[in-house]
Chains A and B, each alone.
Chain A
Amino acid sequence: MFYREAGQYKTTYEADSAIFPIRQERFAFWTFLVIAFVVVPLTASPYLFSAILIPFLILALAAIGLNILTGYAGQLSLGSAAFMAVGAFASYNFVLRVPGIPLLVAFGCGGLSAAAVGILFGLPSLRIRGFYLAVATLAAQFFIVWCLTKIGWFTNYSASGVITAQALVILGYTFDTPRAKYLLVLTIVALMALAAKNMARSNTGRKWMAVRDMDVAAEVIGIRLMSSKLLAFAVSSFYCGVAGALYAYAYLGTVEPEAYNLDLSFRILFMIIIGGMGTILGSFLGAAFIVLTPILLNIFVHTFAQSLPSSVSSNLEPMVFGGMIIYFLVVEPHGLARLWQIGKEKLRLWPFPH
Chain B
Amino acid sequence: MTTAAARPIGDVILTLEHISLAFGGVKALADISFDVREHEIRAIIGPNGAGKSSMLNVINGVYRPQEGTITFRGEVRRNMEPHHAAAQGIARTFQNIALFKGMSVLDNIMTGRNLRMRTSFIEHALHWGRANREEIENRHRVEEIIDFLEIQHIRKAPVGKLPYGLQKRVELARALAAEPSLLLLDEPMAGMNVEEKQDMCRFVLDVNGQYGTTIVLIEHDMGVVMDISDRVVVLDYGRKIGDGVPDEVRSSKAVIDAYLGAAH
> Does B associate with A?
yes
CB-CB contacts below 8 Å: B129-168 with A: 131-132, 135-136, 139-140, 143
The residue in chain A whose Cβ has the minimal distance to the Cβ of B100 is: A213
Contact with B along A8-20 (1 / 0, CB 8 A): 0000111001000
The stretch of A84-92, A95-103, A200-208, A266-274 that contacts the partner chain? A200-208
Residue B62 contacts which of A17, A216, A222, A278 (CB distance < 8 angstroms)?
A216
**Does B68 make an interface contact (CB < 8 A)?**
no
Contacting pair A203 B83 (CB below 8 A): no
Q: How far is the CA of A236 from the CA of B208 in the complex (A)?
A: 43
A277 to chain B, nearest CB (A): 9
Residue B100 contacts which of A196, A199, A209, A231 (CB distance < 8 angstroms)?
A209
Contacting pair B121 A199 (CB below 8 A): yes
Residues of B within 8 A of A231 (CB): 121
Contacting pair B102 A204 (CB below 8 A): no
Q: Is the interface of A mostly helix, strand, loop or mixed?
A: helix
Q: How far is the CA of A309 from the CA of B101 in the complex (A)?
A: 51
Residues of B within 8 A of A258 (CB): none
Residues of A within 8 A of B30 (CB): none
Contacting pair B111 A216 (CB below 8 A): no
Taking A17-B139, A202-B135 as contacts, is the C-beta distance between A221 and B111 under 8 angstroms? yes
Contacting pair A217 B83 (CB below 8 A): no
**Does B82 make an interface contact (CB < 8 A)?**
yes
Q: How far is the CA of A199 from the CA of B124 in the complex (A)?
A: 5
A282 to chain B, nearest CB (A): 13
**Does A210 make an interface contact (CB < 8 A)?**
yes
**Does B103 make an interface contact (CB < 8 A)?**
yes
Residues of B within 8 A of A199 (CB): 121, 124-125
Taking A195-B125, A209-B102 as contacts, is the C-beta distance between A222 and B115 under 8 angstroms? yes
Contacting pair A220 B111 (CB below 8 A): no
Residue A202 contacts which of B60, B99, B101, B127 (CB distance < 8 angstroms)?
B127
Chain B, interface residues (CB within 8 Å), range = 35 or more
Q: How far is the CA of A196 from the CA of B82 in the complex (A)?
A: 29
Residues of A within 8 A of B131 (CB): 202
Residue A206 contacts which of B85, B107, B119 (CB distance < 8 angstroms)?
B107
Q: Is the interface of B mostly helix, strand, loop or mixed?
A: helix
Residues of A within 8 A of B175 (CB): 221
The residue in chain B whose Cβ has the minimal distance to the Cβ of A234 is: B121
Contacting pair A195 B126 (CB below 8 A): yes
**Does A348 make an interface contact (CB < 8 A)?**
no
Contacting pair A223 B114 (CB below 8 A): yes
B199 to chain A, nearest CB (A): 23
CB-CB contacts below 8 Å: A17-64 with B: 17
Contacting pair B121 A217 (CB below 8 A): no
B143 to chain A, nearest CB (A): 8
A331 to chain B, nearest CB (A): 20
Q: Can you sample 6 A-B contacts with CB below 8 Å?
A: A203-B110, A203-B117, A207-B111, A217-B94, A221-B91, A221-B115
Q: Which residues of A contact B (CB under 8 A)?
A: 12-14, 17, 195-196, 198-199, 202-207, 209-210, 212-214, 216-224, 231, 235, 278
Other CB < 8 Å A-B pairs besides A218-B100, A221-B111, 6 of them? Answer: A198-B124, A198-B127, A205-B124, A213-B101, A214-B101, A218-B111
Q: Which residues of B contact A (CB under 8 A)?
A: 60, 62, 82-83, 85-87, 91-92, 94, 98-103, 107, 110-112, 114-115, 117, 119, 121, 124-127, 131-132, 135-136, 139-140, 143, 174-175, 178
